[in-house]
A and B are shown apart, each in its own frame.
Chain A
Amino acid sequence: METGKLKTRKKRVVVALSGGVDSSVAAALLKEEGHEVIGISMQLYDQSKLEDTRFDSCCSLKEVDVARRVAQILEIPYYVLNFEDVFQDKVVNYFVDEYLKGRTPNPCVRCNTDVKFHHLIRKARELNADYLATGHYVRNLYNETLGEYELLKAKDRQKDQSYFLFGTDPKELPFLLFPLGDLTKPEVRAIAQKYNLPNAHKAESMEICFIPSNNYKAFIQEHLEEKGENLDTGGEIISEDGSSIGKHEGYHHYTIGQRKGLGISNPAHPLYVLDVNQSSKTVTVGSEDKLYMDGLIVQNVNWLRQPSSPNIHLKIRHSQTEIEASLEQAGDSQTFKVYFHKPHKSVCPGQAAVFYEDETLLGGGWIDRGFHKK
């Protein structure tokens, strides 16, 4: 594990415990090294609202109970902190707003950047901690040539979670620890078993934590009803030439690249969603080849490290092979044009575009739109 920072003396380390096996093992490893470890869980939403549903994703009440049990086993102090307001503001409202803008949000990245790191770092400092640790699979190493810390992909490339951390403030890197960066998932499970942690064999959580049964359409509807808004988002499904070929009940139910659930049969070739337009409430569909883009515009870019050349590797989905591309600044200092070396599909406005140079996470931003070369 990445121990360079910890070699000198016993440190006070706050560990963000989600109730999952990864963060639990991170805490166990730090405790094993003799540090003063403090476990913290974030209460992100009102649990009583979700009582009716079977629900055991990250940070729900049941997960808090598991985290508490882990803290008991490891004999570390444990606290639950209330982050409901900031989560509602930065994640839930953002999630709904993005869909209503016809974009495809990425709440997990938002939560990592704007909730987990930003606020947990503050809380950890309040507790006089030397470091904040999490169970992310990523490495945080000191680059002696550059004289600064950088984030590198995890040793276990299958599990690498650097994608979710592109928004991290580089100034905070010296304060962060990622004890799992050099471990594989089976190794992590074995450590959990060694400590008899209750979650050693727990399945990975895949759902968006605040949305029961992954039904985001129903969630958005309820969210709007709660706020007393009744938006009519229904409209036309149109082909590329603008002609209407059907109706839909809400443009926010569609994502670029989507094929299933269009309710339109087209004998010639399968139809895909090519565009979702908020102002006209239209969903444009067409053939698969039209999904291929030559590049994208990315905004609000955060840099952890400056690229040494305009040629970078790009990820526009967490679980996706990297795309070779070139960067060009466009407009303000945080907006870039990214040219793919080969055309690529599934460019979704609202998703993250994350840049790498070999193993190093350079940074990333939010996709505004894809583009075709003229």
Chain B
Amino acid sequence: MKPIYFDYNATTPPYPEVGEAMLPFLSTAYGNPSSIHAFGRQAKEALMVAKEKVSGFFGVDSDTLVFTSGGTESNNFALKGALEFLKSKGNHIVTSKVEHVSILDCCKYLESKGVQVTYLDVNEAGLISLEELEKALTPQTIFISIQTANNETGVIQPIVEISALARARGILFHSDIVQAVGKMELDFNLFDMASISTHKMYGPKGVGGLYLKKGLKLEALIHGGNQERKRRGGTENLAGMVGFGKACEILKEKMKEEIVQIQKHKERLESFCKENFEVHINGEGAPRLCNTVNVTFPKIQSEALLLNLDLEGICASSGAACSSGSLEPSHVLMAMGYDEALALSSIRFSLGAQTSSEDLNRLFEVLPFVVQRLS
């Protein structure tokens, strides 16, 4: 029996065309884009085309995108690079308690270097308060980093208002948009910096990007070469970038209809859970992504639930996995005011382009059986 995938927020299956587009660059088209000869030109050409496809999808100038190794590097680049560049202007940054660990760990590191960080609370629905954000800003504040959508709950933060607040004060606004890409319309005019990960949008792993508003200069995180206009050294991950381009090309065409279809599946899944079990849909009071259902089954351990689902061929997830893969309570749910037991009773189904009605039917067969046995 083929396992059914409900973990698109962890990673997405690449579009079949993505792998096909990448293959030549893993075999015959092996040139280095920096070389002047025929192989180099072929590689450079592919790189330019990929970049155009990416910038075309995001609706930005191709110069504003720096290719990186993924979301985590982009977040590190944004925070450390901006701080280095702006440290004469202040040493305070504002973020939230529900950010991805790559933002939170980066902030902890910056704190150890003497930077002041304010971690905004969220309410029960997972939203930050704009009033608290405004109160947290000081003349020393150099940037705000707030995610667009949360990876665990799918909760969407009020980025239009955050952006306006930042602009009015002349403070940079960075957003981790990794989970939002492909799942909602994004207006890049809102951002000064935005982090993107390709494998969350039907592309390959090991590649991503950082959007930098025109004219914004950051200190490089990785020195060593003229690649990416000296903003990111190292020979390009050409196959990855080509895959990124292909994924963007397809998304540009299909995203709107995908969102409608995924949203329908999501609503069906939520209705099923509410009708059949005593559950709580997390972040329900907030605007949420079209694909994420984070649900608490009180008194059932998420670990037991996930393992039993896996044994039945249903792949879902929960919280953050630690080094060896065992479960820890989610910092996102804890920030939303859950106690540890409830946080450890929550699981996430994240849907995507390839999710089908049949997939949900199978889930609806298995879930009541497993939940009943564990209750």
The answer to whether B308 touches A82 (Cβ under 8 A) is: no
Size category, B interface: 10 to 19
Q: How far is the CA of A123 from the CA of B306 in the complex (A)?
A: 13
Residue from the list B311, B324, B373 in contact with A64, Cβ < 8 A:
B324
The answer to whether A77 touches B323 (Cβ under 8 A) is: no
B249 at the A/B interface (Cβ < 8 Å)? no
**Which of B108-116, B127-135, B197-205, B325-333 is near enough to bind chain A?**
B325-333
A127 at the A/B interface (Cβ < 8 Å)? yes
B304 at the A/B interface (Cβ < 8 Å)? yes
B374 at the A/B interface (Cβ < 8 Å)? yes
B63 at the A/B interface (Cβ < 8 Å)? no
The answer to whether A48 touches B307 (Cβ under 8 A) is: no
Q: Which residues of chain B have C-beta atoms less than 8 A from A123's C-beta? A: 304
The answer to whether B303 touches A81 (Cβ under 8 A) is: yes
A113 at the A/B interface (Cβ < 8 Å)? no
The answer to whether B308 touches A128 (Cβ under 8 A) is: yes
The answer to whether A79 touches B307 (Cβ under 8 A) is: yes
Interface residues as binary, A64-87 with B (CB distance below 8 Å gives 1, 0 otherwise): 100000000000010111100000
The answer to whether A127 touches B311 (Cβ under 8 A) is: yes
In angstroms, how far is the closest chain B Cβ from the Cβ of A48?
7
The answer to whether A80 touches B374 (Cβ under 8 A) is: no
Known: A126-B304, A126-B374, A127-B304. A47 touches B311 (CB 8 A): no
Size category, A interface: 10 to 19
Known: A48-B323, A128-B373. A82 touches B328 (CB 8 A): yes
Q: Which residues of chain B have C-beta atoms less than 8 A from A41's C-beta? A: 324
Known: A126-B374, A128-B373. A80 touches B325 (CB 8 A): yes
Interface residues as binary, A22-52 with B (CB distance below 8 Å gives 1, 0 otherwise): 0000000000000000100101000110000
A273 at the A/B interface (Cβ < 8 Å)? no
Among B320-354, those with CB < 8 Å from A are: 322-328
Residue from the list A82, A126, A127 in contact with B326, Cβ < 8 A:
A82
Q: How far is the CA of A79 from the CA of B307 in the complex (A)?
A: 8
In angstroms, how far is the closest chain A Cβ from the Cβ of B192?
35
Residue from the list B308, B322, B327 in contact with A126, Cβ < 8 A:
B308
The answer to whether B311 touches A82 (Cβ under 8 A) is: no
A61 at the A/B interface (Cβ < 8 Å)? yes
Among A86-142, those with CB < 8 Å from B are: 123, 126-128
In angstroms, how far is the closest chain B Cβ from the Cβ of A191?
26
Residue from the list A38, A47, A126 in contact with B324, Cβ < 8 A:
A47
Q: Which residues of chain B have C-beta atoms less than 8 A from A64's C-beta? A: 324
Residue from the list B311, B322, B374 in contact with A77, Cβ < 8 A:
B311
Q: Which residues of chain B have C-beta atoms less than 8 A from A61's C-beta? A: 323-324
B310 at the A/B interface (Cβ < 8 Å)? yes
Among B114-158, those with CB < 8 Å from A are: none
Closest A residue by C-beta to B306 = A79
Q: How far is the CA of A48 from the CA of B326 in the complex (A)?
A: 14
Q: Which residues of chain A have C-beta atoms less than 8 A from B324's C-beta? A: 41, 43, 47, 61, 64, 80
Q: Which residues of chain B have C-beta atoms less than 8 A from A126's C-beta? A: 301, 304, 307-308, 374
Q: How far is the CA of A293 from the CA of B325 in the complex (A)?
A: 49
In angstroms, how far is the closest chain B Cβ from the Cβ of A127?
6
The answer to whether B323 touches A127 (Cβ under 8 A) is: no
Q: Which residues of chain B have C-beta atoms less than 8 A from A79's C-beta? A: 307, 325
Q: Which residues of chain B have C-beta atoms less than 8 A from A77's C-beta? A: 310-311
Closest A residue by C-beta to B312 = A128
Q: Which residues of chain A have C-beta atoms less than 8 A from B373's C-beta? A: 128
Q: Which residues of chain A have C-beta atoms less than 8 A from B301's C-beta? A: 126
Q: How far is the CA of A82 from the CA of B328 in the complex (A)?
A: 8
Q: How far is the CA of A47 from the CA of B326 in the complex (A)?
A: 12
Among A221-253, those with CB < 8 Å from B are: none
Q: Which residues of chain B have C-beta atoms less than 8 A from A81's C-beta? A: 303, 326
The answer to whether A43 touches B311 (Cβ under 8 A) is: no
Known: A81-B303, A126-B374, A128-B373. A43 touches B308 (CB 8 A): no
Closest B residue by C-beta to A126 = B304
Q: How far is the CA of A80 from the CA of B323 in the complex (A)?
A: 10
Q: How far is the CA of A80 from the CA of B306 in the complex (A)?
A: 12
In angstroms, how far is the closest chain B Cβ from the Cβ of A229?
26
For this complex, 26 residue pairs linking A to B, each with C-beta atoms less than 8 Å apart, are A43-B322, A43-B326, A47-B323, A47-B324, A48-B323, A61-B324, A77-B310, A79-B307, A79-B325, A80-B324, A81-B326, A82-B303, A82-B322, A82-B326, A82-B327, A82-B328, A123-B304, A126-B301, A126-B304, A126-B307, A126-B308, A126-B374, A127-B308, A128-B308, A128-B311, A128-B373
Which 4 pairs between the two chains have the least Cβ-Cβ distance? A82-B326, A126-B304, A80-B325, A80-B324
Additional A-B contact list (20), CB under 8 Å, known A77-B310, A126-B308, A128-B311: A38-B311, A41-B324, A43-B324, A43-B326, A48-B323, A61-B323, A61-B324, A64-B324, A80-B325, A81-B326, A82-B327, A82-B328, A126-B301, A126-B307, A126-B374, A127-B304, A127-B307, A127-B308, A128-B308, A128-B373
